Chains A and B, each alone.
Chain A
């Protein structure tokens, strides 16, 4: 589904990604771990199409198609979803209106009519229940005044609404208490099937107890320096990242 080949990316002339290779197949869950500043969030943003980042070398293929040149919205229409580490507050636009716009714009891009209001309401009800989101919450301005946990839950709610093929969860566990973490993980697991894939970016192994990865990669200095299975995550939790750094620098 996702095939990243020798990806180099920089922002304001600073090279951050220095040759990433990664393949994610349908049905798989990948975890990307690594110390602060290793390039995890940059990788997520580059896949999603953030314009400030310049791909200087390599490419990103999604379902057999090069997506390097596509705008963020076009990638979204093809089924790429990024759950933000820091979801942006948009005062004046309610969660419901935002979702209506996002869904109908995606449908428009596919040549479909707007979703009938009745279906939209049903979908919103269904998905908000999945994430245990209070209905009152949906008429509030998007992310404005939301707690950290509410913001993250709202991200996964949006993911549930949009049903992406590839979901990249950037530090979705940060700022979540254990109950919220369980709700979020439960939501992700329920949405998971053999046709879609999830990339979990995280600092800690905690989330991976709930969303169990098939593969774990360690990102360091803009490169994947180690890959393994979920045991690698446990090892990292126990020993930290220093041994990886030593291995790489040796």
Chain B
């Protein structure tokens, strides 16, 4: 049985476990139909031209991991940003782990999707927001159909959430292959500010496929800073579908640090529904081996006087492949839009590949849109310069790569997060530079 069939039949089993007499289940039902009709995307589709899911779909995934798997904090501490106080929502094989989490209902809700989807007090919010940002593509629909668990965050108006919130999804690999479909909903009301860090981590080498959907609603003048750490091991694949709806004068930023995993596809979508909105999309990708990272971004400018800033840096070694497909749509009403997009890449191996494609659809006439992509090698004259000062080749390369990523790193607002990323990069490059940039 192929994965699609398996999922479709699993849906019937899934329905036995949930309340089918609800708004949410109507949404699920519609979603499974879309998935049934469309199936998994293939390379024939323009948006999937450079990324093939064929190989990773061949595994015999367990769709509902059975066991309750306990992990000790000490074994996974390193995956947390642990030197500062944070809220934590932790999942192990898709199931909530209360002993690893630190949630709250004190003025804000940092808790579970499973509660939000079932408890009456969340009903209105769910009806207003659940699946209202996600598009009806097949993978998001697949996630919607099975949506039952994930992070639920609601920040009411005028709250400055001082502690960052970490969302961590672990897979134990106790089953030979696991498919996970976390569903996150984040609603940030007027004037509030929140910082969120998300990470997916498998704990052994068994194949894992995560098809995640995160919906973020940034209401009037709200600020959301979202950080994604993607540094999974070489049999873990991630399809990350993130949808952000912004209301007027809000600022939303997403930083994606893609350093690992087998195949990573980031579908990052911003919808601007108000004036004077700022959307920020930044990423650093450093991969090697046969890793594949695909950033597929969309910024939809719908109203006037808004901005978007995209800055993606990629360093590709060995046989790795990278894809950047950045789409900007500026609607006719969206006059005075400022949209910037940059994608700079360095290939450090002859066998590495990068496909980069800007896509601009502009229907307004008074806009500033710029895009630029570069593909190059490490600057030889800079290498000689540094080496002539006594910095060995490997360290000189690392220093150049840091420097290359620095534009993106420098906009990370949580210092501990920045240090962590710097450390991951140093580890990846096998150097110790003794300072943070």
B390 touches A92 (CB 8 A): no
A101 CB to nearest chain B CB (Å): 6
Q: Nearest A residue to B407 by beta-carbon distance? A: A92
Instruction: Name the CB-closest residue of B to A106.
Output: B390
Q: Say which one of B2-10, B78-86, B170-178, B377-385 lies at the interface with A.
A: B377-385
Q: Which of the residues A114, A141, A158 comes within 8 Å of B389, measured between beta carbons?
A: A158
Interface membership of chain B positions 386-412, coded 1 if the CB is closer than 8 angstroms to chain A and 0 otherwise = 111111110110011011111100000
**Stretch of A28-36, A47-55, A121-129, A205-213 at the chain-chain interface:** A47-55
User: Which 5 pairs across A and B sit closest by C-beta, in order of nearness?
Assistant: A92-B403, A92-B406, A76-B390, A72-B387, A88-B385
Beyond known contacts A73-B392, A90-B399: 8 more, CB 8 A cutoff:
A72-B384, A73-B390, A77-B390, A88-B385, A89-B382, A98-B399, A102-B391, A105-B391
Query: Which of A72, A97, A100, A114 makes the CB contact (< 8 A) with B388?
Result: A72
A79-111 vs B, Cβ < 8 Å mask (1 yes, 0 no) = 001101001111111000110111111100100
> B120 at interface (Cβ–Cβ under 8 A)?
no
Look across to chain B and name the residue whose beta carbon is closest to the beta carbon of A143. Answer: B385
Chain B nearest Cβ from A94, distance in angstroms? 8
**Of B387, B402, B407, B434, which one neighbours A49 at CB under 8 angstroms?**
B387
Contact of A114 among B384, B405, B434 (CB under 8 A): B434
Could you tell me the distance between the alpha carbons of A50 and B380 in the complex, rounded to whole angstroms? 10
Interface residues of B in 405-431 (CB under 8 A from A): 405-407
Contact A51:B384 (CB < 8 A) given known A92-B403, A101-B434:
yes
When C-beta atoms are compared, the residue in chain A nearest to B384 turns out to be: A50
Q: How far is the CA of A90 from the CA of B386 in the complex (A)?
A: 9
Residues of B within 8 A of A45 (CB): 384
B437 at the A interface (CB under 8 A): yes
Q: Which of B350-398 contact A (CB under 8 A)?
A: 379-382, 384-393, 395-396
* Residues of chain B with a CB closer than 8 A to A81's CB: 388-389
| Partner pick for B387 among A73, A100, A141, CB 8 A cutoff | A73
| C-alpha gap A102/B433 in the complex (Å) | 10
Residue of chain A at shortest CB distance from B398: A101
Interchain CA distance A93-B404 in the complex, whole Å: 9
- Whether A73 and B402, one on each chain, are in contact in the complex, defined by CB atoms closer than 8 angstroms, is no
Q: In the complex the two chains form, is A90's CB within 8 Å of B389's CB?
A: no
Number of interface residues, chain B, beta carbon within 8 A? 28
CA distance A52 to B399 in the complex (A): 21
Q: Which residues of A are in contact with B by a Cβ distance under 8 Å?
A: 45, 48-52, 71-73, 75-77, 81-82, 84, 87-93, 97-98, 100-106, 109, 114, 141, 158, 162
B399 touches A101 (CB 8 A): yes
Q: Specify which chain B residues have a CB less than 8 angstroms from the CB of A71 in the assembled complex.
A: 387, 392-393
- B160 CB to nearest A CB, Å: 30
Q: Are B403 and A93 in contact (CB under 8 A)?
A: yes
A9 CB to closest chain B CB (Å) equals 15
In the complex, chain B residues whose CB is within 8 Å of the CB of A105: 390-392, 395
Cα separation A158 to B437 with both chains bound (whole Å): 20
Partner of A48, one of B388, B391, B393: B388
* B435 closest partner in A (C-beta): A97
**Residues of A close to B395: CB separation below 8 A:** 101, 105
Contacts of B391 in A (CB 8 A): 73, 101-102, 105
- Contact between chains at B434 and A90 (CB < 8 Å): no
- Determine if B387 and A88 form an interchain contact, defined as CB atoms under 8 angstroms apart: no
**Within the assembled complex, what's the spacing in Å between the Cα atoms of A48 and B384?**
9
A93 touches B387 (CB 8 A): no
Query: In the assembled complex, how far is the CB of residue A11 from the closest CB belonging to chain B, in whole angstroms?
Result: 13
List B10-61 residues whose CB lies under 8 Å from chain A: none
Residue among B403, B404, B433 with most chain A CB within 10 A: B403
Q: Are A102 and B389 in contact (CB under 8 A)?
A: yes
* Cα A88 to Cα B391 with chains together (Å): 14
Some 21 contacts from A to B, beta carbons below 8 A apart, are A50-B384, A51-B384, A71-B392, A73-B387, A73-B390, A73-B391, A76-B389, A76-B390, A81-B389, A84-B385, A84-B388, A88-B379, A90-B382, A90-B400, A91-B406, A93-B406, A101-B395, A101-B399, A109-B390, A109-B392, A114-B434
| A136 and B207 alpha carbons, distance in the complex (Å) | 51
In the bound complex, CA of A90 to CA of B391 (Å): 14
B393 to chain A, nearest CB (A): 7
Query: In whole angstroms, how far apart are the Cα atoms of A90 and B435 in the complex?
Result: 16
- What is the CB-to-nearest-CB distance from B172 to chain A, in angstroms, rounded to a whole number? 39
Q: Known contacts A51-B384, A84-B385; is A91 also within 8 Å of B390 by CB?
A: no
**A103 CA to B390 CA, complexed, in Å:** 8
B434 close to A104 (CB less than 8 A): yes
A145 to chain B, nearest CB (A): 14
Q: Are A90 and B390 in contact (CB under 8 A)?
A: no
Q: Please report the C-alpha to C-alpha distance between residue A93 and residue B395 in the assembled complex, in whole angstroms.
A: 13
What's the minimum C-beta distance from A85 to chain B, rounded to whole angstroms?
11
